[in-house]
Amino acid sequence: MRIMAIDYGDARTGVAISDLTGSIVGTTLVVPSYNREKTLSQLKELVEQHGVTELVMGFPKNMDGTEGPRAALYREFAGLLQEATGLEPVLWDERRTTVDAHRILSDNNRHGKKRKATVDAVAASLILEGYLAFRNR
């Protein structure tokens, strides 16, 4: 069983895929997101290539728990992702994942272009880690 976490974005989409046991993050990568259809196609390909059986997608919420302004866009993308893959994405609260990803990269001396290129994959890893911890409780 592999679980794939998605940190959807306008320019880049971070992806983290669990190991075969579904207990730790195994693979991380970034997919360019300028074209929604290409992004969906690449995500579908990753699902098939890695034998993903479950999807979790970061979902924008405000700090007070209400839905953020981009929530409708993410719900729409989740529906398209379900159509493309046959898997219904779990919408997972992504509050602070990008902030934490930037902090982690900064703490490890990743700045500028290096950070920009990997921050979405790190955010997806944080989404996946949170979801896996929730599932294992």
Q: Which fold has domain 2-135?
A: Nucleotidyltransferase; domain 5 (3.30.420)
Q: What's the sign of the alpha-carbon dihedral 122, 124, 14, 1?
A: positive
Predicted TM-score (pTM) of the model is 0.86
Widest Cα–Cα separation across the chain = 40
Q: Is the pLDDT of residue 54 over 70?
A: yes
Q: Tell me what pLDDT residue 131 has.
A: 93
Nearest to 57 by CA among 73, 38, 41, 34: 73
Contact 105, 28 (CB under 8 A): no
Whole-number Cα distances in Å, 31 to 42, 79, 95, 133: 7, 19, 21, 25
Q: 44 pLDDT band (50/70/90 cuts)?
A: very high
Q: Write out pLDDT tens, residues 65-78.
A: 888 788 999 999 99
Contacts of 42 (CB under 8 A, 6+ apart): 31
The domain locations on the chain are 2-135
Q: Tell me what pLDDT residue 123 has.
A: 86
Q: Is the pLDDT of residue 10 over 60?
A: yes
Q: 105 pLDDT band (50/70/90 cuts)?
A: low
